[in-house]
Amino acid sequence: MARIEVDQVVKRYASDTIVDREASRTRPALNSVSMAVADGETVSVVGASGCGKSTLLKVVAGLEYPDAGRVLYNGTDVTYVRPQERGVGMVFQDYALYPSMKGQGNLAYYFQVHDRTEEEAEQRVRETADRMGVGFEHLLGRVPTTLSGGEQQRVAIARCIVRDPQLFLMDEPISNLDAKLREQTRIEIRKLLRKFAITTLYVTHDQQEAVFMGDRIAVMRDGDIQQLGSFDELYYTPANLFVATFIGSPPMAVLPVVVAGGEVVVGDLRWRLPDDVRPAVPDGPVRLGVRPEGWIVDAGDGAVLRVRHRERIPTERASFLYGSVGGAAVAVATAIDFPDRSEVRVTPEWSRAYFFAADTEDPIHLPGVLELF
Ligand code: ADP
């Protein structure tokens, strides 16, 4: 198994026509990306469509060569080593099992093309089937068309594991499955990843899936990694406003406010900052970020939240109230027995508030990692 390093990788496609969001200039698909994945670790790579996730995966696999930068496996430069020689197992959205072969044949195929003995193939397939867990054995006797999407994905994963890969690369492996099956399959995949402890890069556009799968999560945007960290790091100490609003559901509310003399001015309302926060936030325009659990409901000096929609979360014995404050979309988490009202007053709980610079969107003051309960 391997420790993976991506070192200042730049990748431009020949038809490089990607237009930057802000300026009318092109940018590379990967814009000097660096990251390190520890041996046995699963890192989720998440971001909107087109941000460079698949390109990053392909460069790590050797399916694309970078224009600059290096890829290292266990400290060895493999940037220009062919994919077949890297010992990488890949699972993509379309399962790409060999359709005419049963599960058994799909798993054994690698040994045939590499001129290994039938005995070795059989033994490895049997071991892998055992390790894949209960119920896997019977998939070996079936052709892919008779398997459900989830079952095909299990066979695809086993086909990677049987070769004892250094590294697992998964690109949206369950996005073809329906919601119920997706839930089951992602639990299954996570169990397998933890059990086999194979270094894994897991690409998804879905932040909840990324959080569920990854030991750490890399948030990408426009060919850059904005932040790579654990869920707590991304959630409580985001690198910028983009990461702050990307991670968390419902998302953080972002209020454009002005700070003056230790007070936060929102429209005609003024909130006095507490003594421990005041010195950290300079006067001027800032972005105030408040997560759903960061509001105090029915406080004396609260802003009026007109409740447009209420979503009940019975398992949490809570509800989300959706509305707006100072023109910004706001979600407020509150106890479920909260009376159904069209208006409540809300104030940020300042120990949970986030402040970002209005221009650069860099953090000015963050809550730091908090205990959830
Ligand atoms: P993601 O996986 O995050 O959706 P990709 O890595 O597939 O993003 O793509 C990153 C950018 O590179 C996109 O703008 C995409 O259009 C462009 N791109 C990807 N593959 C090619 C290619 N083979 N040729 C030209 N442009 C490409």
CA distance 297 to 278: 22
Interval 216-236 mean pLDDT:
97
**Lowest mean pLDDT across 90-94, 130-134, 168-172, 200-204:** 90-94
pLDDT of 192-207, one tens digit each?
A: 888 888 999 999 999 9
**4 near 216, Cβ under 8 Å?**
no
58 lines ligand 1 (CB under 6 A): no
Instruction: Please give the residue range of the domain that contains residue 236.
Output: 4-241
Residues 74 and 38 in one domain: yes
CA distance 200 to 17: 30
Ligand 1 closest atom vs CA 30? 10
Q: Among 211, 241, 271, identify where a domain stops.
A: 241
Output the domain CATH number for residue 229: 3.40.50.300
**91 near 24, Cβ under 8 Å?**
no
CA distance 170 to 93: 8
Q: For the chain, what is the domain count? A: 2
Q: Which of 347, 358, 238 is nearest to 290 (CA)?
A: 347
Token duo for residue 193: 């990843």
Q: Among 216, 241, 266, identify where a domain stops.
A: 241
362 Cβ partners below 8 Å, 6+ apart? Answer: 240, 356
29 lines ligand 1 (CB under 6 A): yes
The pairing of strands 88-92 and 253-260 is: unpaired
Residues 56 and 195 in one domain: yes
pLDDT of 262-280, one tens digit each?
A: 999 998 889 999 999 999 9
**pLDDT for the residue 301:** 80
Residues 78 and 213 in one domain: yes
Residues 203 and 246 in one domain: no
Residue closest via CA to ligand 1's atom 17 equals 29
Interval 205-233 mean pLDDT:
96
**pLDDT for the residue 71:** 98
Q: Among 189, 211, 241, identify where a domain stops.
A: 241
252 three-class SS: coil
Ligand 1 closest atom vs CA 17? 26
CA distance 294 to 25: 39
Residues 233 and 284 in one domain: no
Residue closest via CA to ligand 1's atom 7 equals 54
* 283, pLDDT greater than 60: yes
Residue that has been written with the tokens 């609003």 in this structure: 245
pLDDT of 8-29, one tens digit each?
A: 999 999 765 555 555 545 789 9
**352 near 370, Cβ under 8 Å?**
yes
**pLDDT for the residue 188:** 85
* 59, pLDDT greater than 80: yes
Sequence-ordered strand ranges (E) for 205-353: 216-221, 224-229, 253-260, 263-266, 269-272, 284-290, 295-297, 303-306, 309-313, 318-325, 328-335, 343-348
* 1, pLDDT greater than 80: no
- In testing the pocket of ligand 1, which one of 15, 33, 46, 55 has its CB within 8 Å of the most ligand atoms? 55
